Amino acid sequence: MEKPTQHSLTWTVDDTMTAKRIGAAGAKILSTPNMLALMEACALELAQEYLEEGMTTVGAEAHIRHLAPTPVGMKVTATATLREIERRKMWFDLEVHDEKGKCGEGSHLRIMVPQKDRSQG
């Protein structure tokens, strides 16, 4: 079976995801850090399709643009497209859409690393 090269993840914006919640002035809209968290979570879920047992990925770089506000209560969906794998590096292109249209875009680099057993300290 062929591995997927695209994955989407949808969240509903709530009060804990707003710009106001993180101390920024503004209305009850999705904050840029929370948009980035959605993008990273989406890329991580896609990356897991490519990992060998005992491996995970860590975020290493992100370039994003927040294009439009998304109010509390609206669904927001990130779509990650795997652009390239080079050794341990995985590059993703990302788009974010809410119920009104495109509200974010960017690229993200994740690095494959061994998963550490928490009991080993």
Are 107 and 62 contacting, i.e. CB atoms less than 8 angstroms apart?
yes
> What does the pLDDT look like over 52-74, one tens digit per residue?
999 999 999 999 999 999 999 99
Q: Which of 92, 74, 97 is nearest to 5 (CA)?
A: 92
Given this model, what pLDDT does residue 27 score? Answer: 73
Structure tokens at 69: 């506000």
Domains in the chain: boundaries: 6-120
**Bridge partner residues of 105 (DSSP):** 65, 95
Given this model, what pLDDT does residue 28 score? Answer: 86
What global pTM score does this model have? 0.90
pLDDT band at residue 121, thresholds of 50, 70 and 90? very low
- Please give the CATH number for the structural domain made up of 6-120: 3.10.129.10
